[in-house]
Chains A and B, each alone.
Chain A
Amino acid sequence: MGFGPYFLLATLEGLVTAAVLALTALGLSLVFGVMRVVNVAHGEFYMLGAVLAWWFASLVSGNPALGFLLAVVLSPLVVAAVAFIADRLVLKRLNYEAEGTIVATIGLLYIIQQLALTFYGAEARPVQAPFDWRIQLPWFGYSAYKLFVIFASIAILIGTWFLLRRTNIGLIMRATQIDRDMAQAFAIPVGKVYAGVFALGAGMAALAAVLIVPIKQAHYLMGQDPLLLSFIVVIIGGLGSLRGTVVAALLIGLSDGIISMFFSPTLAKMLATLLVALVLVFRPQGLFSPGGVAAR
């Protein structure tokens, strides 16, 4: 295979990574943007989405598309419900105080991970893709499902953009983001908005996981990398900015494949983490915009 086709393949793979990452990171960004909560358990919602996808898919025998369909509908809903309950039971009682909520979501991380290990086990399990076609390009065949993931993600991102910018729900969320007390004064049910946003963010992570699980297997520790990468995307892309999140996800997704061609994955992760930490130290505007948490 020549350089051109090889590059095309790497780009396609990078786009798949970017597509899933954009969804996951957007969930994290929404939660931080509206609620000022850094959700350390975000990766575990992703993992939970994948594990539940396996479970729902395994309930249905016969056509794999049926199982996948069931998973794609129910898994994000269940995860969103779990997040909703976590918000009501824990985060709300902490009054969304920044440091307390981080400690609490770390607790949540451990609990979800342990429950997955106990009830799902330590094995990695695949979910069958809903369809199994290959698109034959002149140089190589490529999985139609992977292309589907890219387009599905684009569709969901457009849908989210529409929700945020063109509907009343989006307006209420933005109002709450800008000034919580003011929103309260205008009779916006801030508590419900928070719970809803937390559920929505978790649901997006779960949806991303359902999409990826026919490509990568479900495993109880699979939430760690998406968490780190989502942080990177949100920090680089700038907070609450849909466009920034997508651009940063593309950047990270595409470069991830290329960097790991040259470096060992450990070194790549090391350098990326160090770089992002330094971005946070020297250019905190990225994630923590003026008046935000960094400015307190």
Chain B
Amino acid sequence: MSGSDTTRTILLHGALLAGLAALDFVLPDYHHGVLARVMVLSVFAMGYNIAFGYTGLLSLGHAMFFAAGLYGAALPIYHLGWSVWPSLGAGLLAGLVLAVIVACLALRTLGVAFMIVTLMFSQVFYLTTLYFTTYTRGEEGLVLQQGMRTLALPGGHISLANADVRFWAAWTLFSLTLVITLFLVRSRFGRALVAIRENEERMRMLGYDVFASKLAAMAVSGTISAAAGAAYAVLFGYAGSGFASIQYSILPLLWVLLGGAATVLGPFVGTLIMFYLIDTASSYTTPHMLVVGVALILLILYFPKGIVGTIRAKWLRWLP
């Protein structure tokens, strides 16, 4: 990648982050809240994109990683009275450990078998959250009260229940993930992942440890997804089994497909549009499952590159 491409990339992504930050001051309450939620969920999508988009691992079970972060953070807060920082760490760790275990098993399979195995492991996780209803309160979920959600910062304690704080926290996590993703996909490791996606056997015969690379990709992907889950728990104060259900494995796939697989900005664009699409549809009482179903089919049939992917293919070749 040439120097001018690097400059353009920095400018574009910097502008996006600055623009999002500016929106904090102008957006009406409702959209302000939506954007905070979309930023957190698109972190989940960016995590998913590392596995699905860049490495070509079509997982149907990423809900378990999101939920591992969600519960990893929420359970210690709720039952053990932990404060926010160590709970976030617990959420990340839970996602990392789960991702490594699941990947070690699931990566023994390929293609369709991989999809089904990840789906099944995720379903086991979902059923586990239901089975231990005593602790998780199942579908009803845990509600983290305001008092449990104060973040200790050098300057003092702030409440994450406050809308502005929540927005900035979401923005910080989003920015961090975006920058990490950018570095990752432009690194040697990221380029190797893409090449493995394109031709695994070739890469093996170039001396790359394909299994280890995929394992690392799943670990990063699962940990980022868990970060989104942990952040969701502390920012929105809720953790329920629904987040571990199949639907939350399908949604990141949908967001990434819509925005553009293997693009850095695609996950955010896809999440944002899908969120408003479902939101608008629901307000006209058109049921949201229909929107999801139709969108999936139309995307896979007619628009497999997604929005950012198409822009890159047609106009901006330098987009990461």
Contact = CB atoms under 8 A, between A and B. Distances in A.
Q: Do chains A and B touch in the complex (CB under 8 A)?
A: yes
Interface of A: 38, 90, 93-94, 98-100, 102-104, 106-115, 117-118, 228, 231, 264, 266-267, 269-270, 273-274, 276-278, 280-282, 284, 287-288, 293-296
Given A267-B131, A277-B120, 16 more contacts: A102-B58, A102-B60, A110-B290, A111-B293, A113-B293, A114-B289, A228-B123, A231-B116, A266-B130, A274-B124, A277-B124, A293-B110, A293-B113, A294-B110, A295-B110, A296-B111
Interface in B274-300: 287, 289-290, 292-297, 300
Contacts of B124: 270, 273-274, 277
Contact of B108 (A114, A281, A295): A281
Contact of A99 (B112, B294, B297): B112
A103 B295 CA distance: 11
Given A103-B300, A280-B117, A288 B112 contact: yes
Contact of A94 (B117, B120, B131, B300): B300
A108 B301 CA distance: 13
B296 A293 contact: no
Given A99-B58, A266-B130, A276-B120, A111 B112 contact: no
Q: Is the interface of A mostly helix, strand, loop or mixed?
A: helix
Contact of B296 (A38, A103, A274): A103
A277 B126 CA distance: 14
A10 B284 CA distance: 48
Interface in B240-258: 250, 253, 257
B176 interface: no
A90 B301 contact: yes
Interface of B: 58, 60, 105-106, 108-113, 115-117, 120-121, 123-124, 127-128, 130-131, 250, 253, 257, 287, 289-290, 292-297, 300-301, 304
A264 B124 CA distance: 14
Given A277-B117, A277-B121, A270 B301 contact: no
A296 B110 contact: yes
Nearest first, the 7 closest Cβ-Cβ pairs linking A and B are: A110-B293, A107-B296, A111-B293, A277-B120, A107-B297, A114-B289, A270-B127
Nearest to B61: A277
A115 B140 CA distance: 26
A288 B108 CA distance: 13
Nearest to B292: A110
A38 to B, nearest CB: 5
A114 to B, nearest CB: 4
Contacts of B123: 228, 273
A105 to B, nearest CB: 9
A104 B301 contact: yes
